């Protein structure tokens, strides 16, 4: 199982494999996005076309209904009744005066006369589809495709006027499968004025109470036209155009492929660089390019050095320094961090073992990675080194970050084991992670270290300016000591001292020192405070 895991891990560290996966993933993602954009454009085009078509139909229908009603009012107002030559002439004059009146007719109990010969399909005797207080409406009076057939008829009293299909379709050409419907009976019945009958209400999911004029279902577009009459509603239904790939797709596709290839190439370069850095780091450990520096920690009142934080640095053969922010995370990912931690412990005891034996009040803190917090390994390593160099456990402290406390229960057990043998435990960069107060109260901790960012904010109007005092008061309530990091100004020292903070480190006191410089700092006659952090009141 372990061999299979290592084989899989090795594949994921191959630059060409990572590049190929990145290229495939990014190309797929970009093509999916391109397809979504293309389909969105199809929907937009459909919606715009349907909206424009519906608006043109609505404008034409308003013109038709206005002329049909006006012509009926004129006929009703004139005195003639009966089917004589004068009535036929009057009917012909009305069809001449009103452009959209295709046929005008008079009917009574005995006779029917019209301005043109009777045409089959125009029913003057069947009941109206809509009967209003003044006008009656007959819809779809003919289903024949002839443009010169009456398709819509209005009646008032003994008079009927009708418009032809041509007058309805000359503004908009219905596409195959489309229909212009009049919806009646509170939306339960629909009569086609133009086009084929449609199932109503639609079977597909749609919102009949929606305020949107246009609704798009999976296969149809439904455009509802506003009317002043609540008794009926005009609806235009058209089938969707389907999967018609728009022109934009043909340049989005190659663009996606090109971008995916670029992403793969960039990942390849980064992976090669990382692999190169990984190999260099392995060689640096072997060649001794790593060095340990010591950031002194001072008593803020007496300004005596009480200890130091061990810092790992990578100095290349050309003298350049590689930032720990770059190689430490990489070492954590590759597992080399354990080797580095062991190197720091061994080197500091080799360099400072004699100093620590001569100054039992002095201590050095070492940063622990998450992998070392989660296993008891470091206690075993430390025990052997302490015996070898005859240094007390209380002189080696361990710093852990909140982010390193992956499993608080396991971390608590392992940190307690270190504390039981005399080591101090410090929470580094407190306030930048996610360790809750409830968890902190249960952890075996001696001290909190306040991150430099919160110290820098002191005396400013930044939102984080109040974090440091809050951490200090919280630590005091839990009887924990506080070390302030990154002190650079005397004003910061004055404020921290007034808040009861005893210890600090930063460039105001000293920069990170080599072992020789740190030994000189301790032995050149400075007064040393014979104290341990947990011995302070």
pLDDT higher than 60, residue 8: no
Half-sphere exposure of 220 (CA within 13 A, CB side): 20
The SS3 call for residue 397 is strand
Q: Identify the H or E element spanning 238.
A: strand 233-239
What pLDDT does residue 10 have?
Answer: 47
- Tell me the percentage of the chain whose pLDDT exceeds 70: 74
Residues 6+ apart with CB under 8 A from 387: none
Structure confidence at residue 29 as a pLDDT band (50, 70, 90): confident
- Which residue's entry shows tokens 């014979």? 530
- What DSSP state is assigned to residue 513? B
- Tell me the percentage of the chain whose pLDDT exceeds 90: 30
Q: If you average pLDDT over every residue of the chain, what do you get?
A: 79
What pLDDT does residue 438 have?
Answer: 60
What pLDDT does residue 78 have?
Answer: 93
Helices (H), 408-530: 408-420, 437-440, 452-456, 467-477, 490-498, 515-523
User: Structural domains in the chain?
Assistant: 2-172 (no CATH), 288-529 (3.20.20.450)
What pLDDT does residue 532 have?
Answer: 35
Q: Are 382 and 412 within 8 A, CB to CB?
A: no
Mean pLDDT, residues 28-34: 71
Q: Are 414 and 376 within 8 A, CB to CB?
A: yes
pLDDT tens digits, 69-115: 999 999 999 999 888 889 999 999 999 999 889 889 998 888 888 88
Q: How far apart are CA 240 and CA 218, in angstroms?
A: 8
Torsion, Cα 180 183 189 195, to 10 degrees, reads -10
Edge-to-edge order in the sheet of strand 150-156: 112-114, 103-107, 159-164, 150-156, 136-139, 130-131
Q: Are 168 and 180 within 8 A, CB to CB?
A: yes
pLDDT-wise least confident of 334-338, 369-373, 498-502: 334-338
What pLDDT does residue 425 have?
Answer: 94
Mean pLDDT, residues 379-402: 92
What pLDDT does residue 320 have?
Answer: 74
Between residues 49 and 77, the one the model is more confident about: 77
At what angle are helices 324-334 and 337-358 packed, to 10 degrees?
Answer: 120
Q: Identify the H or E element spanning 53.
A: helix 15-77
Residues 6+ apart with CB under 8 A from 360: 392, 395
Tell me how far CA of residue 72 lies from CA of 34, 103, 492, in angstroms: 56, 12, 94
Percentage helix, strand, coil for the chain under 3-state DSSP, each rounded to 5: 45, 20, 35
Structure confidence at residue 534 as a pLDDT band (50, 70, 90): very low
Between residues 274 and 3, the one the model is more confident about: 274
| Closest among 126, 119, 191, 128 to 148, alpha carbons compared | 119
Q: Are 358 and 325 within 8 A, CB to CB?
A: no
| Closest among 465, 463, 455 to 504, alpha carbons compared | 455
Q: Residue count of the chain, please give it.
A: 537
Mean pLDDT, residues 387-392: 94
Q: How far apart are CA 310 and CA 341, in angstroms?
A: 10
| Closest among 507, 535, 509 to 304, alpha carbons compared | 509
The SS3 call for residue 484 is strand
Half-sphere exposure of 205 (CA within 13 A, CB side): 1
What pLDDT does residue 75 have?
Answer: 94
Count CB atoms within 10 A of the CB of residue 255: 13
| Closest among 219, 194, 214 to 142, alpha carbons compared | 194
Q: How far apart are CA 116 and CA 161, in angstroms?
A: 12
Mean pLDDT, residues 362-384: 91
Residues 6+ apart with CB under 8 A from 107: 113, 124, 158, 160
pLDDT tens digits, 475-519: 888 889 999 999 999 999 999 999 999 999 999 999 999 999 999
pTM assigned to the model: 0.51
pLDDT-wise least confident of 191-195, 197-201, 282-286, 416-420: 282-286
What pLDDT does residue 347 have?
Answer: 92
pLDDT tens digits, 170-229: 666 677 777 778 787 777 778 777 777 777 777 776 676 777 777 777 777 887 776 766
Residues 6+ apart with CB under 8 A from 447: 424, 425, 426, 427, 480, 481, 482, 483, 533
pLDDT higher than 70, residue 430: yes
Rg over CA atoms, the chain = 44
Structure confidence at residue 360 as a pLDDT band (50, 70, 90): very high
Q: How far apart are CA 203 and CA 198, in angstroms?
A: 10
pLDDT higher than 50, residue 530: no
Mean pLDDT, residues 232-248: 69
């Amino acid at each position: 199982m372990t061999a299979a895991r290592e084989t899989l891990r090795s594949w994921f560290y191959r630059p060409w494999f990572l590049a190929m996966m990145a290229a495939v993933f990014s190309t797929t993602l970009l093509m999916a996005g391109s397809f979504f954009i293309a389909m969105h454009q199809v929907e937009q085009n459909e919606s715009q076309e349907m909206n424009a078509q519906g608006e043109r139909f609505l404008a034409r229908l308003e013109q038709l209904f206005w002329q049909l009603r006006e012509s009926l009012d004129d006929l009703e107002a004139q005195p003639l009744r009966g089917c004589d030559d004068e009535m036929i002439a009057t009917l012909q004059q009305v069809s001449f005066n009103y452009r959209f009146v295709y046929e005008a007719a008079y009917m009574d109990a005995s006779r029917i006369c019209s301005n043109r010969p009777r045409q089959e399909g125009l029913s003057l005797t069947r009941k109206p589809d809509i009967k209003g207080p003044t006008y009656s409406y007959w819809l779809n009076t003919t289903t024949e495709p002839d443009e010169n057939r009456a398709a819509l008829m209005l009646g008032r009293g003994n008079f009927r006027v009708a418009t032809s299909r041509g007058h309805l379709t000359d503004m908009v050409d219905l596409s195959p499968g489309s229909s212009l419907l009049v919806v009646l009976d509170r939306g339960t019945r629909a009569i086609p004025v133009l086009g084929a009958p449609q199932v109503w209400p639609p079977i597909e999911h749609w919102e009949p109470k929606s305020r949107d004029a246009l609704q798009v279902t999976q296969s149809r577009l439904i455009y509802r036209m506003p009317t002043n009459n609540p008794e009926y509603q005009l609806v235009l239904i058209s089938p969707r155009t389907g999967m018609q790939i728009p022109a934009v797709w043909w340049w989005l596709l190659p663009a996606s492929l090109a971008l995916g290839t670029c992403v793969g190439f960039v990942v390849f370069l980064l992976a090669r660089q990382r692999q190169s850095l990984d190999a260099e780091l392995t060689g640096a450990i072997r060649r001794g390019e790593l060095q340990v520096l010591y950031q002194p920690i001072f008593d803020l009142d007496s300004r005596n050095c009480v200890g130091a934080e061990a810092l790992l640095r990578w100095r290349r053969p050309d003298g350049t320094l590689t930032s720990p922010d770059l190689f430490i995370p990489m070492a954590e990912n590759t597992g080399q961090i354990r080797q580095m931690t062991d190197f720091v412990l061994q080197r500091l005891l080799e360099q400072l073992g004699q100093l620590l034996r001569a100054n039992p009040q002095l201590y050095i803190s070492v940063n622990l990675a998450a992998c070392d917090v989660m296993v008891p390994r470091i206690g075993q390593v430390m025990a052997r080194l302490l015996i070898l160099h005859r240094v007390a456990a209380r002189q080696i402290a361990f710093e852990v970050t909140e982010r390193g406390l992956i499993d608080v229960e396991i971390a608590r057990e392992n940190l307690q084991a270190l504390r039981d043998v005399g080591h101090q435990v410090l929470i580094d960069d407190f306030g930048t992670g996610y360790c809750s107060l409830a968890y902190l109260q249960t952890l075996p901790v001696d001290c909190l270290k306040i991150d430099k960012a919160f110290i820098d904010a002191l005396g400013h109007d930044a939102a984080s300016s109040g974090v440091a005092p809050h951490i200090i008061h919280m630590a005091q309530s839990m009887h924990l000591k506080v070390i302030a990091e990154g002190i650079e100004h005397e004003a910061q020292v004055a404020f921290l001292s007034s808040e009861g903070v005893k210890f600090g480190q930063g460039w105001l006191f000293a920069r990170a020192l080599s072992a020789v410089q740190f030994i000189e700092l301790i032995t050149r006659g400075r007064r040393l405070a014979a104290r341990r952090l947990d011995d302070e009141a």
